[in-house]
Chain A
Amino acid sequence: MRFRAKIVDLACLNHFSRVINTIAKLAKTCTLRLTVSKLYFILSDKVANGGVSMWCELCQGNFFDEFQMEGVAADHNEIYLELMPENLSRALKTAQSAKAVKIKLTNKHCPCLKVAVELPSLSSSSRIVTHDIPVRVIPRRLWNDFREPSVPDFDVSIYLPVLKTMKSVVERMKNLSNCIVIEANFGGEMNLKIETDVVSVTTHFKDLGNPTWVSEDGCQSSVQGRDLQSMAEARIDIKKLQQLLAGQQVNPTKALCNIVSKKIVHFILLHEDVSLQYFIPALA
């Protein structure tokens, strides 16, 4: 099992750091899955996580100048590592002006991802900062826990409002209540509601638009025949929503959510080369 990668381009490095920062805000511990062409940050929906799950996918070619990986076996050419993304975020934080960043899987005292940052210095040779981030190798028999989640059979699918606005609304609501109701319909309307003994606050968003989904048999879902007004709603933990929104450092190209009434809310945030899916289960 081997892994080495190198980033030389500063823009790629910053982009990668931003992705890691976002992941670090969403999960304390997560799984990093390495394949020949992609990296995945996965959080599976265990009780420990409060039922949330995450699937983040990156194309390695968009970030790394060099990427070599040898998985556990020839027919299972993948590596699954469990790590704390906060460590990776911290290692990259001070690499803003790096000449190069190399990441390598090593095993000295214990398995580690060794991040070596080459920084410019006034002297002839560069300054080298190395961070050893402890990881846990996940054995093959557990890989099934980390399969890509399927898009749920949703009741409503709608584009999210401007994330910055949504974030500030949710942040204020967080001070008033622990849970928030998201409801939306196929008419492009979304409401965020909180209700306590003393106050209830609702923020209405209009004209958001609804994405068209291509189903497996190739036909587009049509809005016709659907009740445009009827709302699908789910009550979720407001902190989880706030974490998701706060972690977004760059505006995504596409941001939408699928609501399964009273069951789960599925958020999809798409950037050029990164896709992030986040599932928040509904509270009882």
Chain B
Amino acid sequence: LKCILYCFLFLLVFGRAVHAIARVSDEFCFDPLEKGLALRSVNSSRSAYAYVFFSSMFFQHYRWTAVSQPCQKEKQLSLPCKLIIKSVLPIFRCVNLLERNVEKCSIYTNTKDCHVTFQLLCRNGIVKTYNLTFQECDPLQAVFAKHLCPNILKVHSRLLADIIIHFPTSQEEVTLSVTPVKVCFKSYAEEDTDFSKTMLTEIQLNPDEFDYFQVGVDSKVTFCLKELRGLLAFSEATSVPVSIHFDVSGKPVAFSIEDMVLEASFILATLSDIENETASQEPPCFSQMQESKAEAIASKKPRQSGNAQNTASAAPASPLAKQAIKSVPRVTSKDVAGTEGTAITKTNEQAMLEAESVESRYHKVRTLPIVFTLYLSHFCKCCIFQFHLLFFGAVSFKEKDAINHTFHSLATASDTEEDFGNMQSS
């Protein structure tokens, strides 16, 4: 993978995207695809999922080549890598200063030694190169049927920011409640909160304020504010309006932005209606999840394991864990050659994560009641992938050497991309 961000505005947007993802988790999945670059992240309690996709057109040049040697199975193979946010954030730390100092940013991966390299060409001939090691990861993707949501709101990010600002930064959760004639954001406090010490804030808006307002079912969804703030900052940089898709309480809420060159979705779990729920073994949340998952899975490409619901492959440690696993179908990668060891460990790990999250939901935190389907990413050791994204842009004389070097490596790559021709800018 090699891609270059030239225009400062795009660099700002990319930086903001990284910051937004940083609010969700400490690590993220850097997944270069043929059509563009995807960044994905899930938080540790599985209650927030962030996905940002930059299409190849976002970059001044984007080159993705798969140079594969003959393997047993010829598959569409992607190379997702897991990066630690702490290593990437410093690169885009002062996003606002990037504009002044950085002229070009190239990103390329080298799978042979597991590195992702970010190279910033700055003013005065300074070149900053960041080599980050990555771990392979199975890309997770939240399956969330946005089009099935009865409630859809669309609004400019400025409005959302103006609403959120009324809540203190320490406010963890807010409740969004809608009826066809009213929209209300309210700070959420649990039943056992000491109300004599807590300040509660509520904002009421008229549906007119939204660019698009559709309420199919009156609902109140409670979600975590922290993750949302990241998305808002990001969408302000892009000036793309934010769409909010949601359903009744318990079902996730998706905040997404979409434009010609990028799309982003932050899917957050919501608290289910506690009043209807006693401390039962099978929280309604999960059973709803199973149904929606079943639908979602049906619409997906057939998975290798076929029986998506059968996940009892990894022996769970506790009955709770078993519960959790049952409700979250996991593709067992046992049959995937070469990754057995990691697969099983992963599944166990996931089992434990699920167990934790199930227990914790009885207290407060709820897990994301959505499906995580794993791509069947088969990383065959005998395949080598190289991705190249190149940039052609106005190049200053000083940088000639750097560019020559780049051209040189280009020459060795296959040049089958149509994008290549299209992307060549004057």
Measured CB to CB, the residues of A under 8 A from B are: 87, 90-91, 94, 109-110, 121-125, 127-134, 136
The reply to whether the CB of B299 lies closer than 8 angstroms to some CB of chain A is no
| Neighbouring A residues of B202 by C-beta, 8 Å | 129-132
- Total A-B pairs, Cβ < 8 A: 56
Inter-subunit contact B199/A133 (CB<8 Å): yes
Task: Please report the C-alpha to C-alpha distance between residue A136 and residue B165 in the assembled complex, in whole angstroms.
Answer: 27
Contacts A94-B166, A124-B208, A129-B166: A134 and B203 contacting too (C-beta < 8 A)? no
B203 contacts across to A, CB distance below 8 A: 127-130
**Overall SS of chain A's interface:** mixed
Query: By the criterion CB–CB under 8 Å, are A131 and B201 in contact?
Result: yes
Residue of B nearest to A121 (CB): B209
In contact, A90 and B199 (Cβ under 8 angstroms): yes
For B199, give its contact among A87, A122, A124, A128 (CB under 8 Å): A87
- Tell me how far the C-beta of A87 lies from the nearest C-beta in chain B, rounded to whole angstroms: 5
Select which of B168, B196, B204, B206 is within 8 A of A90 by beta carbon. Answer: B168
Q: Which of B197, B207, B208, B209 contacts A134 (CB 8 A)?
A: B197
Q: In the complex the two chains form, is B199's CB within 8 Å of A132's CB?
A: yes
Chain B residues whose C-beta falls within 8 Å of the C-beta of A133 in the assembled complex = 199
| C-alpha spacing A87/B196, complex, angstroms | 12
User: Which residues of the partner chain B approach A132 to less than 8 Å between Cβ atoms?
Assistant: 199-202
Instruction: Identify the closest chain B residue to A126 (Cβ).
Output: B206
CA distance A151 to B166 in the complex (A): 41
Does B195 contact A134, Cβ atoms closer than 8 Å? Answer: yes
A129 touches B201 (CB 8 A): yes
**Which residue in A91, A124, A134 is a CB contact (below 8 Å) of B196?**
A134
Min CB distance A114 to B, Å, is 10
Interface pair A127/B165, CB less than 8 Å apart? no
Cα(A127)–Cα(B209), bound, Å: 9
How distant is A90 from chain B, measured CB to nearest CB, in Å?
6
Q: Does B276 touch A at the CB level, under 8 Å?
A: no
A123: chain B residues at CB < 8 Å are: 205-209
- B280 contacts A by Cβ under 8 Å: no
Cα–Cα distance between A87 and B195 once the two chains are bound (Å) = 13
In whole angstroms, how far apart are the Cα atoms of A24 and B187 in the complex? 22
A94 to B166, CA, bound (A): 6
Q: How far apart are the CA atoms of A19 and B203 in the complex, in Å? A: 25
Residue of A nearest to B165 (CB): A94
Asked if A110 and B195 sit within 8 Å, CB to CB, the answer is: yes
Whether A127 contacts B204 by the Cβ 8 Å rule is yes
Q: Chain A residues near B208 (CB, 8 Å)?
A: 122-125
User: A80 to B203, alpha carbons, bound, how many Å?
Assistant: 28
B198 within 8 A of A: yes
Known pairs A123-B209, A127-B204; A134 contacts B199 (CB<8 A): yes
- What are 19 A-B pairs at a CB distance below 8 A? A91-B199, A91-B201, A94-B166, A110-B195, A121-B205, A123-B205, A123-B209, A124-B206, A127-B209, A128-B204, A129-B201, A129-B203, A131-B166, A131-B199, A131-B201, A132-B199, A132-B202, A133-B199, A136-B196
In the complex, the answer to whether B200 meets A131 with C-beta atoms within 8 Å is yes
Central interface residue in B198, B199, B206, B208, by most chain A CB within 10 Å: B199
CA distance A174 to B244 in the complex (A): 49
Could you tell me if A122 and B209 are in contact, using CB atoms closer than 8 angstroms? yes
CA A208 to CA B311, docked complex, whole Å: 82
Q: Which residue of A lies closest to B197 (CB)?
A: A134
Task: With A94-B165, A122-B209 as known contacts, state yes or no: A110 contacts B196, CB within 8 Å.
Answer: yes
Per the bound structure, the CA–CA distance linking A130 and B196 in Å amounts to 17
Give the residue among A109, A124, A127 with the most B Cβ atoms within 10 A. Answer: A127
Residues of A with C-beta under 8 A to B209? 121-123, 127
Q: Is the CB of A109 within 8 A of B195?
A: yes
Name the distance in Å between A195's Cβ and chain B's nearest Cβ.
40
Q: A123-B209, A127-B209 are in contact. Are A134 and B166 (CB under 8 A)?
A: no
CB-nearest residue of chain B relative to A130? B202
